[in-house]
Structure 1
Amino acid sequence: MDAVTATLAPARRATVRPMDAGDLPFVARLHRRYLPEGFFVRLGDAFLRSYYRSYLTSPASVALIGEVDGVRAGFLVGTVDHGTYARHVGRHHRAKLLAAGVWALLRRPGLARTLVAGRLAGYRATLRRARARPAAVDRPTRFGVLSHLAVEKAMRRSGLGRAMVQSYAGIALLHGTRRLRLVARAESSAARGLYLSLGWLPGEEYRDGDGVRWTPFTREL
């Protein structure tokens, strides 16, 4: 009898490293491709690059790149003290973000109608409140937010998403953070399964202003 042999694909090696400025174009592209919800995407890659740069400069944030076999395949950004991160954005990135947003609107005037509907007012109010808070409240709030996570579709069974979420939680714990939060699309069974398997607890589902359904999750560290 002839022996039957099967060739198995080699196991993929998922690794995580800190994000740097050279990764920002990749991150913007991945965000646009896999995280299309929200107004930021419609402002374009230049705005997204400016937005993600704030995670590189804040001492209260985490910015990670995931690689599979040495090739970039995903990213994660989050905070270890969300209040401090928000104040950092208000003080150090507000002007650049506004400039990038205005430039995007000049190139695509139709977007202005959406802003007039109330979104820009909300963003500006948040930034003003962040800047107005005195420095004395820059104490750790002990909660962080996993803000964005994206993995290339072809690499989603490599364990990369899990590795990045675990790395983020470990960094947050080292910073003294005791509670983490995130929101995930309610219809994404893959995201739900990932977070549940890592000890995140789901909250009550809600819809945003665009009618998208979201599920909040929390995790105690």
Structure 2
Amino acid sequence: MSLLASGRPRPSDGTAPVVQLSQGLAIALVAAALGYALHHLPFLEDHAMLSAALSVAAAGVAAVALGAVAVPSRRRLLPVVVFAPGRTSPVQPLERRDIDFCVALHREALGHGFFVELGDRFMRAYYRTFLDSPHAVAIKTDVGGQAVGFLVGATRARAHRRWTLRHRGATLALLAAAGLVGHPRVAVRFVRTRLARYLRTWRRHRVNESAQRSVVAPDPAVLTHVAVVPGARGSGAGQQLVEAFTDHARRAGADRALLTTLAGEGGAGGFYERLGWRKSGVHTTADGHRVEEWTFALEVAIP
């Protein structure tokens, strides 16, 4: 479980103008490339004024649309630090109005993940998949009406991945690509460490979707993200969320739940060990982070 270090906005580091300039140049290049491509379409090869105007207009609209997605929103809601000497309220389902809270807390508490670098618009769409998927759990806990923690995960990991690829894959891919515009270093790292793997996953989904549905092996649950603001530490919020997730996974028929957390002092291995989870491995991520894998055996609920 990761905890928020600060609830105050960070001061600007002075790089915003540079980022905006790089984004503007990238959008201009996209417009030029689109204009060139459209110009060479068969029905535009006559160089007529109308054809040229349509080409320029289409390229401009596409570039502006991409820019609207790529330029990050200036509005970033950071969670308020609250003090919670007592226990939190019962766990409740996440609502769409909570997504900004989740994104802000994720950015602060789980900022080592790659998805954060794809921008808040991508993160909002990503969190909506957990609210909408029939194979996922999205829950929160609060104190006095103020959300202090959240958890998202899949009760059936493979089924949730298939649902996401089928129903939100194109949207997430577009938002991810837009988030990489103007961030060349992030884009290069994505191409080097993830692109091939994501393409293989997409091809497997397209070719073997029906075959995957026939797999009879148990589909494990995966606790994907959990975070709690520091003022709620000691209130039992994290334990409430994790236990609620394992209850959901058990009722969904999963035989085990899985998660990863940072290894060492930056991770939450000790917390999960106290809750009965068992460390099952250690590996290094594509970004060079050492993470621990933890497993929780579930007794399947009998209706």
- The answer to whether TM tops 0.5 is yes
Moved more, 131-140 or 57-66: 131-140
| CA distance 1:27–1:124, shift in 2 (3 Å) | farther
Look up the equivalent residue of 1:153 and give its one-letter code: P
Unmatched segments (≥5 aa) in structure 1: 1-8
Q: CA deviation at 1:197?
A: 1.6
Superimposed CA distance per residue, residues 140-185 of structure 1 (whole angstroms, 9 cap, x where no aligned partner): 7331100111111221221100000000000111111111111111
Tell me what 1:214 maps to.
291
Tell me what 2:150 maps to.
75
Q: Does 1:130 align with 2:200?
A: no
| CA distance 1:25–1:124, shift in 2 (3 Å) | farther
| CA distance 1:190–1:107, shift in 2 (3 Å) | closer
Moved more, 106-115 or 58-67: 106-115
Give distance in 2, aligned partners of 1:10 and 1:96: 42
| Contact in 2 for aligned 1:14/1:163 (Cα 8 Å) | no
Q: CA deviation at 1:190?
A: 6.8
CA RMSD in angstroms comes to 2.0
Tell me what 2:181 maps to.
106
Q: CA deviation at 1:118?
A: 3.4
Tell me what 2:38 maps to.
none
* Aligned length, in residue pairs: 213
Q: CA deviation at 1:10?
A: 5.3
Look up the equivalent residue of 1:208 and give its one-letter code: T
Tell me what 2:124 maps to.
49
Q: CA deviation at 1:90?
A: 0.9
Look up the equivalent residue of 2:289 and give its one-letter code: V
Give distance in 1, aligned partners of 2:228 and 2:164: 25
Give distance in 2, aligned partners of 1:179 and 1:189: 25
Query: Structure 2 length as normaliser, TM-score?
Result: 0.65
Give the secondary structure class of the aligned counterpart of 2:181.
Answer: helix
Tell me what 1:64 maps to.
139
Give distance in 2, aligned partners of 1:29 and 1:111: 20
Give the secondary structure class of the aligned counterpart of 1:75.
Answer: strand
Give distance in 2, aligned partners of 1:127 and 1:56: 22
From 116, 126, 146, give the equivalent of 2:191: 116
Look up the equivalent residue of 2:294 and give its one-letter code: F
| Contact in 1 for aligned 2:99/2:128 (Cα 8 Å) | yes
| Contact in 2 for aligned 1:79/1:146 (Cα 8 Å) | yes
Tell me what 1:178 maps to.
255
Moved more, 75-84 or 197-206: 197-206
Unmatched segments (≥5 aa) in structure 2: 1-83, 299-303
| Contact in 2 for aligned 1:30/1:150 (Cα 8 Å) | yes
| Contact in 1 for aligned 2:193/2:286 (Cα 8 Å) | no
Look up the equivalent residue of 1:187 and give its one-letter code: G
| Contact in 2 for aligned 1:14/1:159 (Cα 8 Å) | no
Give distance in 1, aligned partners of 2:220 and 2:164: 17
| CA distance 1:66–1:123, shift in 2 (3 Å) | farther
Specify which structure has the higher proportion of strand: 1
From 197, 222, 235, give the equivalent of 1:145: 222
Moved more, 133-142 or 153-162: 133-142
Q: CA deviation at 1:189?
A: 7.1
| Contact in 2 for aligned 1:90/1:128 (Cα 8 Å) | no
Tell me what 1:165 maps to.
242
Specify which structure has the higher proportion of helix: 2
Percent of aligned pairs with the same amino acid: 37
Give the secondary structure class of the aligned counterpart of 2:197.
Answer: helix
